Chains A and B, each alone.
Chain A
Amino acid sequence: MRPLLPGELPFASRRLQVCVGAGGVGKTTLAAAIALRAAVAGRKALVCTIDPARRLADSLGLPELGHDRRRVPVERFAAAGLEPRGELWAMMLDLKRSWDELIARHAPSVEQRDRIYANRFYRQLSSALAGSQEYIAVEKLYELSQTTDYDLIVLDTPPTAHALDFLDAPNRVVDFLDNDAARWLLTPALAAGKIGLGLFGRGGGRLFRGISELTGAETLRELADFMLSLSGMYEGFKERAGKVKKLLASPEAGFVLVTTPKPLTVGEALQFHGALEKSGLAVGAVIANRVHADIRAAGGDELARAGRSDGLPEDLVRRIDRALSDARALRHGDEEQLARLRRAGIEPFALMRRDRDVHDLGALWSLTEPLAAKGDAA
């Protein structure tokens, strides 16, 4: 933890911030806003985005392809009326390429690396294995935290409704790459003893034949080949995954849990929050994004009276009344969800719903203005 600078977001006091939450809630937007505010306040900040909207990527000066880090030019700040005291850097995380890099780092030879790259199982790894995208994102954070000198790194993550996909990701990946599985696959007899079900032997062999009949023997051979080609890398992976896990639990890292004030997403956020806390991970903030504005204007009889005394068409006033009551219903629904978070002991930070998408630096800035810290130093 460190003192906050004026204008920074008050929950972003740890060096590594991880924005998590369900699909479309505003993770990428918020990740960019956190880094932007830190940069303006004087930090050297990096936001690592995943699949940003094209116009957000444009605002950050990121090209269509490639996942290099780039500094956001000062002119873009000026265009938004901002003057950065620090630096804002941005990148797009390419999940596939990050896996490739991870493999390259651990593979003992170029041949082995290429053999893995060419394998169909490897190419499907990211879709077939729950948590593998989450894992590779956090792995990237680890790498960046070790090899760069940013004051703040904000990691955006793929949509994750369930915290388990996130928290369990290193275990799943390590388990998956576990060579026990390969050995088992290649020598079913050995596995029979190991698994100890006593059911293998003839039955297991038949099942195995059955599966290969379904999937084709080629598929099994490829899987075996994939497992084999990973041999010798497992220890390295495991050690690395252990470090990644430790980093997330360290005082350096904090989670920002983003949600919208809707029954479904709040339900997911509550579960997510519970799981993070249970694992001893720090939740810096829960953000309720896209909260509808409060409606203070009068309605009903009072509005009708004002309409009559100002000589407004009755029909217009009636339609206004309807519109206001719908707007109130929206606000009311949001408030209920905010209250639900509070009942669970969470004080959410609310961000207002904008009439338009939030894509440029100016909009990111003004959206988060109400949350900005006065600064510990001041």
Chain B
Amino acid sequence: MPEPIEALDRLLDRRVLVLTGKGGVGKSSVTAALAALAARRGKRVLACEVNANDRLPALLGAPPAGPSLAELRPNLWSVDVRPHEAMLEYAQMKLHLPAIVRAVFENRLMRYFLRAIPSLAEVVILGKILFHAREREGERPRFDLVLVDAPATGHALALLRVPEVVGAAVPPGALADDMRWMRALLEDPAQTAINLVSLPEEMPVNETFQLERALRDVGLPLGVCFLNGVWPHRFAPGELDQLPPRPPWTEVRAAVSHLEARADLALSEAGRLRRGTDLPVIELPYLFDAPFGPPAIERLSLLLEGKLGVAA
């Protein structure tokens, strides 16, 4: 198994980094921290979220980006890829009838119809993201790194499998060609890594195992597992036993024990994760910032950079 730190260093050399995991584990937070880090190191970064209401700009302390690319800070762009807009863009690109395309897309029945076509939404979402990953500006790529704050587990899997599934189902033609290059890009471990985000809790860890297996089964290249929100252990075993059994220490001990119990759980779940995964595990601490916002993201990003610094 490669060393986590080394793995992280090489990770940023990919063109496309996808982050996924159970709902609420910190996918957006880790994506934002990685984006800030890569941009700081001089990479031109596009951070994409999927129909998520501009969570990334908020975490990075910038105004909403919306469905078109917006520059959040030097070297760092962001976009919220929404199915309806992406579909419109795709249809306009492919069908060259802007006015009619727009009129039809705004039609109610047409919308239902489009929504019903299996995978069409995923096709256009992934298509837009990967389009930007290949986009060029003169001699060089427009972006060095495209980060994808992907939806939670099941939806992410459906999204990432779209080139394979749709590619197999459609007749030769424009769409089939698109599926081919998308698949080649996604399945190339030199260019793409799918990364898992987890928490040191039972259900998220279980879901990480399932997701890792599923991604491996479909042949997508895996990167690392970010174990987010790891609670600190602050006391040696038995250390709190020296507190006298009287006020204020009884109350102190009860309060502190809750924190330690959570740290115990985190430790045992982190251990279970490391034993059960083949991926390098990169731990990120739980941050007690309230509210959890841009300063917390900057700290996560510096912590990640610190890990990189050790390797360099």
Q: Which residues of A contact B (CB under 8 A)?
A: 22-24, 53, 120-121, 124, 127-130, 159, 175-176, 180-181, 184-185, 191, 195, 197, 199, 203-204, 206-207, 210, 213-219, 223, 263, 293, 295-298, 302-303, 306, 310, 312, 316, 319-320, 322-324, 326-327, 329-330, 332-333, 336, 355-357
User: Given the complex, which residues of A lie within 8 Å of B112, measured CB to CB?
Assistant: 175-176, 181
Q: Output the least CB separation between B292 and chain A (Å).
A: 8
User: Given the complex, which residues of B lie within 8 Å of A355, measured CB to CB?
Assistant: 258, 261-262, 265
Q: Are A298 and B120 in contact (CB under 8 A)?
A: no
Of the listed stretches B92-100, B139-147, B219-227, name the one at the interface; the rest are far from the partner chain.
Answer: B92-100
Q: Are A322 and B234 in contact (CB under 8 A)?
A: yes
Q: Are B109 and A263 in contact (CB under 8 A)?
A: no
Bound form: Cα–Cα A120–B116 in Å? 10
Q: Output the least CB separation between A329 and chain B (Å).
A: 5
Bound form: Cα–Cα A286–B280 in Å? 41
Q: Which residues of B contact A (CB under 8 A)?
A: 22-24, 91, 94-95, 97, 100-101, 103-104, 107, 109, 112-113, 115-121, 152, 158, 169-171, 173-175, 201-203, 234-235, 239, 242-244, 248-249, 251-252, 254-256, 258-259, 261-262, 265, 288-292
Q: Are B258 and A203 in contact (CB under 8 A)?
A: no
User: Given the complex, which residues of B lie within 8 Å of A197, measured CB to CB?
Assistant: 103-104, 107
Bound form: Cα–Cα A323–B240 in Å? 12
Q: Are A181 and B113 in contact (CB under 8 A)?
A: yes
Q: Are A320 and B104 in contact (CB under 8 A)?
A: no
Q: Output the least CB separation between B83 and chain A (Å).
A: 10
User: Given the complex, which residues of A lie within 8 Å of B117, measured CB to CB?
Assistant: 128, 215, 219, 223
Q: Are A216 and B116 in contact (CB under 8 A)?
A: no
Q: Are A297 and B255 in contact (CB under 8 A)?
A: yes
Partner of A195, one of B107, B258, B259, B288: B107
Q: Which chain B residue lies CB-closest to A214?
A: B175
Bound form: Cα–Cα A316–B292 in Å? 28
Q: Output the least CB separation between A251 and chain B (Å).
A: 33
Partner of B242, one of A120, A213, A312: A312
Q: Which chain B residue lies CB-closest to A357?
A: B202
User: Given the complex, which residues of A lie within 8 Å of B258, measured CB to CB?
Assistant: 293, 327, 355
Q: Output the least CB separation between B261 and chain A (Å).
A: 4
Q: Are B248 and A297 in contact (CB under 8 A)?
A: yes
Contact residues of A: prevailing secondary structure: helix
Bound form: Cα–Cα A298–B203 in Å? 35
Q: Output the least CB separation between B312 and chain A (Å).
A: 31
In addition to A297-B251, A298-B248, 9 A-B residue pairs with Cβ atoms within 8 Å of each other are: A124-B118, A127-B158, A197-B103, A213-B174, A214-B175, A219-B170, A323-B235, A324-B255, A355-B262
Partner of B152, one of A23, A199, A320: A23
Q: Output the least CB separation between A193 and chain B (Å).
A: 13
Q: Are A216 and B171 in contact (CB under 8 A)?
A: yes
Q: Are B95 and A329 in contact (CB under 8 A)?
A: no
Q: Which of B173, B252, B292 has the most CB of A within 10 A?
A: B252
User: Given the complex, which residues of A lie within 8 Å of B202, measured CB to CB?
Assistant: 53, 357
Partner of B103, one of A176, A199, A333, A357: A199
Q: Are A24 and B252 in contact (CB under 8 A)?
A: no
Q: Output the least CB separation between A35 and chain B (Å).
A: 21
Bound form: Cα–Cα A165–B95 in Å? 32
Q: Which chain B residue lies CB-closest to A181?
A: B109
Q: What are 16 A-B contacts defined by CB distance under 8 Å?
A: A24-B203, A129-B115, A204-B100, A206-B97, A207-B101, A214-B174, A214-B175, A215-B120, A215-B175, A216-B175, A293-B255, A295-B255, A319-B234, A327-B258, A329-B289, A357-B203
Q: Are A203 and B97 in contact (CB under 8 A)?
A: yes
User: Given the complex, which residues of B lie within 8 Å of A319, measured CB to CB?
Assistant: 234-235
Contact A185/B113 with A197-B107, A303-B252, A355-B265 known, Cβ cut-off 8 Å: yes
Q: Are A310 and B244 in contact (CB under 8 A)?
A: yes
Bound form: Cα–Cα A296–B254 in Å? 10
Q: Are B255 and A199 in contact (CB under 8 A)?
A: no
Q: Are B94 and A214 in contact (CB under 8 A)?
A: yes
Bound form: Cα–Cα A250–B259 in Å? 44
Chain A to chain B: the 4 pairs with minimum beta-carbon distance, closest first: A333-B290, A23-B23, A355-B261, A297-B251
User: Given the complex, which residues of B lie within 8 Å of A176, measured CB to CB?
Assistant: 112, 116
User: Given the complex, which residues of B lie within 8 Å of A199, measured CB to CB?
Assistant: 100, 103-104
